[in-house]
Chain A
Amino acid sequence: MPLVENGRIVEDRYVRVAADGPIPERVPIIVPAQRFLAEADSLVRRDGSLGVDWPNDRRVAELEPWLGHLALIALNFPKFKDGRAYSQARLLRETYSFGGMLRATGEVLRDQFHFLVRAGFDSFEVKKPADAAVFAEVLARYSVYYQPGADGRAPALRRRLQGGAAPKVRETA
């Protein structure tokens, strides 16, 4: 499953650790939620980047005390149609100002890319290699957005006011 970051396919630096079993030293790790919560005190003191794999049916508010120690949060799309993690991502970015990486995992297909980016994700475990290969191209499909998202782009309502929209061609639609 190719990993896309910064618009390119990259090597995954993170190692996923199991619910039990040893935790490797120094390498970046992603820990399952249960274990993370149970062992958070020691995990945050460990040397090496720390990530957590967070299910989409748990409130992200539970992570609040640890956000400063987390380099990555992996959120899950068990199905393409199950969009709970979009809300989790926006809450993490906008309400809790999480500045680490947000990774989309699970059924991640090309037609979600722009939603994911706009919701604040910046790391993508893409299901199909063919989709990963056209990541940048797919993102270029849309150049205008109506609403503010977690990606800081100017939405249409503001662009119009700032005169950032192309000249207002009055034409009856």
Chain B
Amino acid sequence: MASPLERKIKITGPVVVTANRVADGAVIYRDADGDWTTSLDAAAVATDAARAHALIAEANADDLRAVGAYIAPVELTEAGGRRPGNLRELIRLSGPTIELPVTFGI
């Protein structure tokens, strides 16, 4: 029988595995070498459930470096780059959509 996790994974388009870095909370993505990167363009993209499952399993096993790993949608651009697949992921990648308070003098 498939594990609950496997059964849950249904993929309708390209996805990446993302998490936050333990030491500083920064947004990170799983890359093809089994490492983590802060660049979405360097992330490993999965297009089928098996690959996505493998990525998330590896990511979950890396409790020392990453927290809260999950599968997130991504769009592939014509130039071969990646775009976040939804607003939440866009905000995670590029920061708040609002201007941060002005921080003069620091």
Direct contact between A and B in the complex (CB less than 8 angstroms)?
no
Query: Measuring CB to CB, which residues of chain A are less than 8 angstroms from any residue of chain B?
Result: none
